[in-house]
Structure 1
């Protein structure tokens, strides 16, 4: 299977690098600056689970042409439109597209551009960062993982072909029976974390130590879970308990990646993760005042970046 990994940052570089290390046929679609860096230094992964330096197969947008069997879509949501334009030459009649972006809006955009049958569902968990020198650094020891599914037929032959490629490649994989439900569960968790830590401008431990902090965090989770329920994807009790425990743990240094990006003056995925969730709340008349406040707050930040 010919695999095109879109992006070689912390997510694409890590999972694509492990796939390449396991002998899969992987090519990275990257910008020219990143291509120069990778040609000079190699693809470097520093991880508690094993370091590696690879000589990756690379292609830039103006060089892309041949059909690929699988496009592994790992870019941030604010790079979605440009990445879609970039990959178009690589998408043939039977090409599968596996996105692991957060939220749900990207599925609608990809389906509109490439058709319902090409787009799989997927998500990943990774705690990592891209250093200034291009090194991909895994921040947590627990294995990073990828989950994926055929949105229409969870037992399809093409999904099994993808699973064969991703299995035993240096990270755990799962085949949820309902990938859309799994994506919603992750979305509730991420949007809760982002709303809490970005709005309060601090990690979970600082929030719950503040007067009213625990009640605030619980109220945010309740809003996000209510939105999911109204859209036909209620949170299972164990997942809801796990989320509530995570956002109310005293002394926790845990914070959303959006908060880390916000703190460093980087672009954020506010529209894709918080704004789209709020739109789906409004479509079902679900009150979400805290999520709305967070979106207003983050929108002001995005305006400052634009200036």
Structure 2
């Protein structure tokens, strides 16, 4: 299958390298200055001791190839916006610009999508898009190697009503190709709503790592931690208005509290220290711009649905305050 992946960060590399390893024709769409980069892509699965894949010569391009059969978008949330100050993937162009110039094929977005962002992207790209939820998490380490985990109990979910009806056969084929690459995937109803609800519910916990200056510092800052926990309760109420959250989200948010986090992190340091490095790399200050953009979007959704989010407003003020300290 001819697959174009917009973005070559951790998420894009895992999906792209695994697909390429089984023989699919994969192109990574990147900024023009990166298109000549000849370095290999290496990915290592943390929860599988002997799984290491190397794509010696990844195909990089500044545009989506005309013969692509499906496009997968894996850029950061703040890079999805049709306009704004966020860095753009190529020559000042947005993701929407790339899609406008590309072929009329299914567009699967693995980036977390909230309803306003989805509507804006569809309007700017002049096409319907298909929301999806990934089943992997990963980060780029100091060797430029992606270290990643596959969630064993979850599949990559692709919205079965997201794109145009004529696109369904290609989406089904993509799900088969992903499953064949040991990345279980399936088409599922209401993935867009579940994606938005889950992102909304979980957002304060990931943003708190940025607000606190990292996982360890957050645990020592009772003010920021308490604000984040209050904001999580608020966002759960908003999430229930948006859609149905993933089952694991409610279990996790209910289990997290001031008396469980510190022992949990202490245990993680002993048995899975890399998980803490992942949290800081994936959700920490490095993604500051994404947290600001997503926080503003969640607050706007709260106003739209009549849900008060005072604790989230305080948490976002703390994150904004860190901007000047960088």
TM-score by length of 2: 0.76
Question: Residues 210-234 of structure 1: CA distance to partner in whole angstroms, max 9, x if unpaired?
Answer: 6688865542221001112233x25
Q: CA deviation at 1:291?
A: 0.9
1:1-307 alignment, distance < 5 Å = 1-37=1-37, 39=38, 41-48=39-46, 49=48, 50-61=51-62, 64-80=64-80, 81=82, 82-92=94-104, 95-104=105-114, 105-116=116-127, 118-138=128-148, 140=149, 142=151, 146-152=156-162, 156-203=168-215, 207=219, 216-231=227-242, 233-235=243-245, 239-246=249-256, 248-253=260-265, 260=281, 267-302=288-323
Q: CA deviation at 1:6?
A: 0.9
Q: CA deviation at 1:251?
A: 2.4
Aligned-pair Cα RMSD in Å: 3.4
Question: Residues 75-115 of structure 1: CA distance to partner in whole angstroms, max 9, x if unpaired?
Answer: 112333423323432232xx111011124143223211234
Write the distance in 1 (CA, Å) between the matches of 2:179 and 2:164: 17
TM-score by length of 1: 0.80
Alpha-carbon spacing, 1:12–1:244, altered in 2? closer, same or farther (3 Å) = same
Does the residue aligned with 1:121 lie in a helix, a strand or coil?
strand
Q: CA deviation at 1:263?
A: 5.3
Write the distance in 2 (CA, Å) between the matches of 1:213 and 1:294: 7
Question: Residues 157-199 of structure 1: CA distance to partner in whole angstroms, max 9, x if unpaired?
Answer: 4432322222221222243332023203420343131243333
Write the distance in 2 (CA, Å) between the matches of 1:289 and 1:46: 41
Alpha-carbon spacing, 1:242–1:154, altered in 2? closer, same or farther (3 Å) = farther
Does the residue aligned with 1:127 lie in a helix, a strand or coil?
strand
Write the distance in 2 (CA, Å) between the matches of 1:287 and 1:255: 32
Write the distance in 2 (CA, Å) between the matches of 1:57 and 1:206: 38
Alpha-carbon spacing, 1:171–1:298, altered in 2? closer, same or farther (3 Å) = same
Does the residue aligned with 1:251 lie in a helix, a strand or coil?
helix
Question: Residues 63-83 of structure 1: CA distance to partner in whole angstroms, max 9, x if unpaired?
Answer: 655142211000112333423
* Structure 2: segments with no counterpart, 5+ residues: 83-93, 266-274
Write the distance in 2 (CA, Å) between the matches of 1:189 and 1:255: 21
Write the distance in 2 (CA, Å) between the matches of 1:211 and 1:267: 21
- Is this contact kept in 1: 2:227–2:312, CA < 8 A? no
Q: CA deviation at 1:8?
A: 1.5
Alpha-carbon spacing, 1:130–1:210, altered in 2? closer, same or farther (3 Å) = closer
* Structure 1: segments with no counterpart, 5+ residues: none
Write the distance in 1 (CA, Å) between the matches of 2:66 and 2:125: 16
